[in-house]
Structure 1
Amino acid sequence: MCGIYGTTIPYKEEQIRQKLEITSFRGPDQMRWETFPYREGCLTFGHNRLSIIDLDSRSDQPMTYTDRIHIVFNGEIYNYKTLRSDLQKKGYTFTTESDTEVICATYIEYGENCATQLNGMFAFVIYDVSKNILYGAKDRLGQKPFYYYLNGNQFEFASQISSIQLFNNNLSISQKSIQEYLTWNSIPSPNSIFNEIKKLEDGHSFTFNLANSDFQTRQYWDIDYANKFQFKGDFQEAKTELEKLLKDAVGIRLVADVPVGVFLSGGVDSSLITAMASKVSGEKVKTFSVSFNEKDFDESSYARQVADHLKTDHHVIKCDYKEGIDLIDTFSDYYDEPFADSSALPSMLLSKHTKKQVTVALSGDGGDESFLGYQRYQWVRSNKKIYNIPSFARKLAVGILDHIPHKSNRLNVLSPYLKLKNIEEAYLKSMTNSNASWMKETYDTKNIEELKYLFHSNKNIYERVSDFDLKTYLTWDINTKVDRASMAYSLETRSPLLDYRVVEFAQSLPTDFKLYGNNQKRILKEVLYSHVPEHIFKRPKSGFSVPLSVWFKNELKDYVLAELSYASLTEISCINAKEVKNLIDQHMSGKWNHYSMIWKLLVLKQWLSKNGNGYSIV
């Protein structure tokens, strides 16, 4: 797990050093860069290393393999030992114990198809001297970030925007991306906050020809949204196969030359990962959870029950608003484009204190998307029949609702949904701003390519919303949150439920293996209950959240009112400052809960204050 950087732009040595230093938190163990002359110019590769596998300096990067290959790599290849053994049988030799060297040999053996051989989370770039090209790839589910800037023969890439942004005078802030951020809470791939900087999409690779500057991307992996692969066995057979897969996915993620722990919230996913880790590890597992003073947000007691049952070495991290405001003040230093998932704050806090004892932590991310765990999937189940009612009848109901004075919040929310054509449009609306009255311009949520995973007839609605979430919410939001929160404190996070084999297996299962009436994540729970008593989980599902709604009305009230004063709001061009001020006042009075909008605008305001000077917004 590291930070990578590269450029064909002839920056000075001191500038390269500063570009690496700005993200040194991603890899504090070693910072190096190297320049490679080629016929048309010079290429520089840089690397900030967080040492995980083969701690010896021989595995520092940039790394050279057989004089033909130079590489910078961020992430982990979990099947590298198997690949290494297979490659050795084919005559390849290795001088380190690292997975980086294995990527190089895999590229020589399989060429531009090499990414299909890798099971891991990764973003890497190879300079192939013999072909005079750069080849790079990003993992299937987008766990590792990769940004790039392309302007003719000027190509620059990095793990975070800030490295590209520094000393680059050709950037402009994207008005469209700000609107996308206000709609989705993050900026969808392939866009970034700057018009000129793009994200490499998940499951994609690229080539950049150094001779003629030709840049090409191609998709090497996708989820099975055509529904071609279907599990043929019964539920018990599926459960046995899933447990086998999970044990292997966890086992290969426990391999490290540094201490490893597990994030344990007390929910189904993290408890299952902890149970698997306890099963396959030869040592007592270290587990970590967060505790809040506000009891409605504190689930640490459930994590303690699981930890006690599995006999882990458990650590509870206590959080209050004072530490929370410290994280808010530095938020944009790590999330270096606007990002509004407030669960990033407890994720940062958890990472900060976990790092004091381990360098790698396993998480339960990915279970909800693949195994139908989000509460909104029950919302789909409850509301899809509404769209069997003829549209004229729904329009009549809307007319009646709109004329009811002082109607409840539930009726206020219901009315716009009745106007939509189908449950697919309703789900799309639920994933974006349901109330955009405070935005000056209406953003078209249908301008994303990922709609193809939702609007088709190959699968039922539950499988389609699951696929859509895997391609949007997971990659744009969850993986961004986890990467930045953990790397802010030089902690590597590994997610066994995002092993592509687990995801593909989940997609192949019949829906009722995952969602059976009100029983969500059915098959995951059945595996879990073989290791941890079922009664611990007999409670409503809750997200990993921080009590911002309470803090904003109390301890952080003055902070919010100062940061989001009317004068400050008028500086954000695409919002209605008067309407936003009215919504903030409603929140402070306790009439409505608008904490998510407040947080979203606090993040945007902070980012613009730190980054907006000198850039035009177009």
Structure 2
Amino acid sequence: MCGIVGIIQTNQQARPLAENIRRMTDVIAHRGPDDEGFLFADPQTVAVYGGESPVVADALPDYYPAEPITAAYALRSSLAFGFRRLAIIDLSPFGHQPMSYRNRYWIVFNGEIYNYLEIREELAAAGYAFQSQSDTEVILAAYAHWGADCLNRFNGMWAFAIYDRDRHELFLSRDRMGIKPLYYYNYNGLLIFGSEIKSILAHPDVETRPNTTYIDRFLREGVNEFQEETAFTHIYRFSRASWWRGNIAQIPAGRLAATTFWTVPVNPSTEPFDPQKADQYAQQYRALLRDAVRLRLRSDVPVGTAFSGGLDSSSIVHYIDELHRENQVTQKLKVFSTVYPSEGAKDCDESEFINLMAERYHLEAYGVEPQAAQVPEQMQKMVRAMENPQESTLMSYMFTYGLVRQNGVTVTLDGQGADELQAGYKFYITNHLANVPASALRQEYALFASMPGSRSFARLGAAFNILRQMGLATITRQALNRLGKLSDPFVTVNERLHRDYFNHMVTLLHYGDHSSMACSVEARYPFLDYRLAEFWHGMPGVYKVHEGWTKYVARLAMNGLLPDQITWRKDKMGWEIPQDYWFRGELKAWFCTTIENSAFLQSMGLGRDIRRQLDQPYTDHKRMKMMLRLLNLALWHHTFFPKQPMQTGDLTYVIVTPVRNEGEHIEATLQSVIAQTNKPRLWVIVDDQSTDRTPALLHQYAGRYPWIKVVSGPDLKRNDYSSRVVQLFNYGLSLVDVAYDVVVKLDGDVYFKPDFFAGILAEFRQNPRLGIASGHLTLNGVREKADTSAGNTRGATKCYRKACLADIGGVYPYTSWDTVDNAGARAKGWETRMLPYEFEHLKPEGSRAGSPLYNHYRTGLSNGRIPYVGAYFMAKALSKALEPPFLLAPLVQLYGYIQTRFIRKERPFPDFVTQQVRKEQKAYLLRRIKGKRLPPQTN
């Protein structure tokens, strides 16, 4: 187990890389405290260097460095590898990396190939020779023999980079499950990869900020460590079960298009339960699990296990004990647990089951109880270790692996991954009951409702079953989607397991790897042996959830091998942590202060009512998770962006522009934005199937200016409530991957003075309560005198503060942008108004201010909902055209007052606009028409 980093300069300029690669490896020294090594290469030469401490040994491999890294500080090269080693297999210098094979292939490798001995024998029979006893050299020989197909032969966990000297190629790969991490940054002529994001951030040329798209999704949905995006702009996670290969001199910019080499299908079978077949599955499972444990016991350093006392970790302990007795290993197995025996935290304690197993298997058991006073400091360490913000304290992980390291153990075999294969969580009961035949529903419901803590899941499953039988499954799905529910209760158990295995489980693996490696411990997972994954995915769901039991075949397999209290235990716990007890008690002040003092959260309008939320009675994990997301986000920003305070004087903005066939005007718009004294951080232009010269112009300018991003519009639903333009804008906003304070919706046919956006930001700085400022622009700022031949009189620019968007929940897809944001923002206590200098065209004759009626309606409360607005403008234009002028506009305005006050012909508002909001809108509108000011608002 190790930490790897790499730098590839794709801008054709060879520069010294040694100081930067050394800085990057120093940051991840915890991943490899035993050794370090470096490689520098260009098409002609390869040079290797080591750490500053010389190694004295009887024999050294030909790839072992002769000089320390300090001797390479002036060396120029196009590629550099860095390596930190945690020595586990072949502890000699022959296990050193970067490692070479036949002086052609060079590798830096993080992970373990458990079946390396079997592969080595096969390669030796084919004529390959080896210098070391390591699995690393087996990877190189396998790649030389089979190419990328070697990945299908590996049983293990890995993230590695291979440099092919002859072809000047880079080959990257990550294991099937995504156990070992691999991140990369590919921007401004630099491709940088590493085992941790921290190593990439250590490079001085890396440009990154908080990724607001990722953060917004995190706040809505929680942790998603399976996606490619990270919380840092321009830094991505390399895909699991994939590889990528490219020439060093021709690496494309942006995301790497990786090739997937392994997947596993879902078994959709709904066959009835067969006891004989269940016994066969149990026998196969026992053999596979035993062999998975056997392979993962290969180590030249002490092995233990992180132990909870549940079925999964107990099954691993059983097979370790069996294999130790078979191999005459007399040393007691060390197990490590987090326990909570103290009052107030006992709901999270599993000491009873740990002690039961320790007595039966004569284990050397170690336990640790996290104390509330230790949590703040450990939270800081956890946030730094996890790198992306989380929704838990993860104290069980941090304290357990700290305990492992303190007691001289380097490798653990842990039970991660079993629940996502075997249906171990109670929420799978809902999917099971939703799909059982109607004739079996009553009996199945009674069995599962009797499980501790399962009644609510059983009730939901029964209800969804009835809805399915009534033919209402599709309607129910749509309703759940509108409520923000991400899971589908009507999919089968196997379908949900498949999704969770490659999503939720990857997040758990992220916890395990980053927390264990922060303590210089390697965690191995027998249940993630790909043979077990294929076995469980091929098993019909009826053998996983059956007769009131989750994980039925797994229990059946261990029946008689483990104590019945373990095998047939129903009160499942999963490394529970007494977070609610801590943060509503001893740590309440720290919890609230950390969130309230976060300038980053303040900039998004978050955390202002955290004390009120914390004072509410405890109901379930969801509420605490939502609050913990804020705590983690505050700590995360403070940890990784301490020098980037979010102050109103440092406002930045992004622009999103939907366009279609704007060829006559788009170039003037482009030039107008480029000429701004305060340029946007990013400009996303969504091209909606243009057929004129618009696409060519857009790509021409995007090629010159890296902050212009051109994308094609998606296929959109035709029967949606919102207009296509609003949907396109919403899509463009979802692609923004930089931090910003203000978002601008800009049409593709407007242009303005060079100081325009600087003025907008000044407005926001001067008035911190200003939530939204919006309005229309024209060529010269005077709509009535605009050059209509230029075609830009319909162009619009609307500017919104990001914090306001976050406060009202983002952009709604089912209504107009104007209506929602103004109404929603006012309901939240935000002040919304137009930018005064932007609306010269609203001033009628003389110097009188713009019409309150016009302003109010045009800023969003009408937006086509109240029909007389168009008549008002027509009457106003006609009045001005006649001599003497007729007072038609005031008459239409009076009609509008009557219509608004007494006649209700508006189109229906979306569901999220409540009746209370409509009443506030109505009252606000009437006061504006009457010329009365609103009372001052308070937070």
Shared fold by TM > 0.5? yes
TM-score (norm 1): 0.85
The structural deviation recorded for 1:303 is 1.1
The worse-fitting range, judged by mean Cα deviation, of 484-493 and 515-524 is: 515-524
Work out whether residues 109 and 159 of structure 2, in 8 Å CA contact, stay in contact via their aligned partners in 1.
yes
The letter for the 2-side match of 1:38 is: P
Q: Is the 8 A contact 2:81 2:98 kept in 1?
A: yes
**Distance in 2 separating the partners of 1:51 and 1:309:** 32
Deviation by residue 1:168-217 (Cα, 9 ceiling, x = unmatched): 34223211110222213234421111231111111111112113224541
Counterpart residue number, 1:22: 27
Aligned ranges 1:116-265 → 2 under 5 Å: 116-151=152-187, 153-166=189-202, 167-182=204-219, 183-214=221-252, 215-225=256-266, 234-265=277-308
CA distance in 2, matches of 1:16, 1:591: 48
Where do residues 49-60 of structure 1 align in structure 2 (5 Å cutoff)?
49-60=85-96
Cα 1:305/1:128, change in 2 over 3 Å: same
Distance 1:326 1:385 in 2: 49
Once the two structures are superposed, residues 20-60 of structure 1 have per-residue CA deviations (whole angstroms, 9 ceiling, x without a partner) of 11111111111221211226952100011100000011211
SS at match of 1:520: coil
AA in 1 matched with 2:250: N
Contact 2:17 2:77 in 1 (8 A): no
Report how far residue 514 of structure 1 moved. Answer: 1.2
Are the counterparts in 2 of residues 186 and 340 from structure 1 also a CA contact under 8 Å? no
1:504 is matched with: 534
Structure 1 distance, partners of 2:598, 2:530, is 48
The answer as to 2:612 corresponding to 1:585 is yes
Q: Distance in 2 between matches of 1:254 and 1:188?
A: 28
Within the candidate set 470, 475, 485, 2:515 is matched to 485
Separation in structure 1 between the aligned mates of residue 373 and residue 367 of structure 2, nearest angstrom: 17
- 1:396 is aligned to none
Aligned equivalents of 2:482 and 2:418: distance in 1? Answer: 23
Q: CA deviation at 1:568?
A: 4.4
Q: Distance in 1 between matches of 2:544 and 2:25?
A: 44
Q: Identify which range, 242-251 or 588-597, moves more after superposition.
A: 588-597
Per-residue CA deviation, residues 49-76 of structure 1 (Å, 9 max, x unaligned), is: 1000000112111111110100000000
CA distance in 2: counterparts of 1:237 and 1:355, whole angstroms: 40
Q: Work out the CA distance in 1 between the residues paired with 2:434 and 2:607.
A: 34
Structure 2: distance between partners of 1:261 and 1:321: 27
Pair 1:249–1:567, CA change in 2 (3 A) = closer
In 2: Cα distance, 1:530 partner to 1:428 partner: 44
8 Å contact kept, 2:30–2:517: yes
Distance 1:301 1:13 in 2: 53
Q: Partner of 1:596 in structure 2?
A: 625
> Given that residues 125 and 137 in structure 1 are in contact (C-alpha distance below 8 angstroms), is that contact kept between their aligned partners in structure 2?
yes
**1:530 aligned partner:** 560
Q: Structure 1 residue 262: deviation in Å?
A: 1.4
Q: 1:227 to 1:70 in 2, by over 3 A?
A: farther
Q: Using the TM superposition, give the Cα deviation of residue 300 of structure 1 relative to its aligned residue in structure 2, in angstroms.
A: 1.6
**Can you give the 5+ residue segments of structure 2 that lack an aligned partner in the other structure?**
10-14, 45-75, 439-455, 646-737, 741-939
Structure-to-structure mapping, 1:550-561, within 5 angstroms: 550-561=581-592
CA drift at 1:356: 2.2
**Residue matched to 1:62:** 98
Which residue does 2:361 correspond to in 1? Answer: 310
| 2:214–2:230 CA contact under 8 A, matched in 1 | yes
State the percentage of identical aligned residues. Answer: 28
Matched, 1:271 2:271: no
Distance change in 2, residues 1:211/1:273 (3 Å): same
Aligned to 2:334: 286
Task: Tell me which of 739, 759, 765 is aligned to 1:617.
Answer: 739
Contact 2:396 2:577 in 1 (8 A): yes
TM-score by length of 2: 0.57
Alignment-derived partner of residue 469 in structure 1: 500
What letter matches 1:15 in structure 2?
Answer: N
Q: Within 5 Å, give how 1:435-450 maps onto structure 2.
A: none
Distance 1:187 1:289, change over 3 A: closer
Q: Distance in 2 between matches of 1:527 and 1:429?
A: 42
Task: Give the 3 Å change call, closer, same or farther, for CA 235–461 of structure 1 in structure 2.
Answer: same
Determine the C-alpha separation between the residues in 2 that align with 1:424 and 1:219: 31
Distance 2:543 2:432 in 1: 16
What displacement does 1:318 show? Answer: 2.4
CA drift of 1:8 comes to: 1.3
CA drift of 1:11 comes to 5.3
Cα distance in 2 between the residues matched to 1:234 and 1:13: 60
Larger relative contact order (C-alpha < 8 A, sep ≥ 6)?
1
Read off the aligned partner of 1:205 and give its amino acid letter.
W
| 8 Å contact from structure 1 (residues 383, 423) kept in 2 | no
> What's the offset of the Cα at 1:13?
2.4
Partner AA of 2:38 in structure 1: W
Provide the rounded CA distance (Å) in 2 between the counterparts of 1:428 and 1:250. Answer: 41
Which residue of 321, 326, 336 maps to 2:372? Answer: 321
RMSD: 3.1
Secondary structure of the structure 2 residue equivalent to 1:599: helix
* Counterpart-to-counterpart distance in 2, 1:422 and 1:258: 57
- How far has the Cα of 1:151 moved from its partner? 2.7
CA change 1:424–1:482 in 2 (3 A) is: farther
Q: Secondary structure at the match of 1:516?
A: coil
1:122-177 Cα distance to aligned partner (Å, 9 max, x none): 00010011221111111100001010111365211000111111213422321111
Q: Are the counterparts in 2 of residues 187 and 193 from structure 1 also a CA contact under 8 Å? A: no
Distance (whole Å) between structure 1 residues aligned to residue 480 and residue 509 of structure 2: 21
Instruction: For residue 421 of structure 1, report the CA deviation from its aligned partner.
Output: 4.2
On the 8 A contact 1:372/1:515 being kept in 2, the answer is yes
User: CA shift at 1:423, angstroms?
Assistant: 7.2
Write the mapping of 1:367-406 to structure 2, written as runs, cut at 5 A. Answer: 367-382=418-433
Query: Retained in 2: the 8 A contact 1:310–1:532?
Result: no
Deviates more, 1:250-259 or 1:285-294: 285-294
Q: Deviations over 1:272-295 (max 9, x none)?
A: 111111111243322121111221
By how many angstroms is 1:427 displaced? 8.8
2:757 is matched with which residue? none
Cross-structure match for 2:935: none
Structure 2 distance, partners of 1:568, 1:24, is 31
Q: Which amino acid aligns with 1:304?
A: N
The residue type equivalent to 2:230 in the other structure is: S
Q: Deviations over 1:590-615 (max 9, x none)?
A: 36553212211111111111223449
User: Which range moved further: 174-183 or 149-158?
Assistant: 149-158
Q: How far apart, in 2, do the equivalents of 1:570 and 1:204 lie?
A: 36
Q: Distance in 2 between matches of 1:365 and 1:188?
A: 16
Distance in 2 (CA, whole Å) between partners of 1:142 and 1:218 is 14
Query: Which residue identity lines up with residue 589 of structure 2 in the other structure?
Result: D
Greater alpha carbon shift after TM alignment, 588-597 vs 300-309: 588-597
Q: Which SS does the other structure have where 2:365 is aligned? A: strand
Secondary structure at 2:379 match in 1 = helix
Indicate the SS of the match to 2:258: strand
Shift of 1:515: 1.1
**1:353 CA displacement:** 0.5
Aligned-residue offset at 1:301:
1.8
User: What CA distance in whole angstroms lies between the structure 2 residues aligned with 1:115 and 1:250?
Assistant: 21
Aligned to 1:394: none
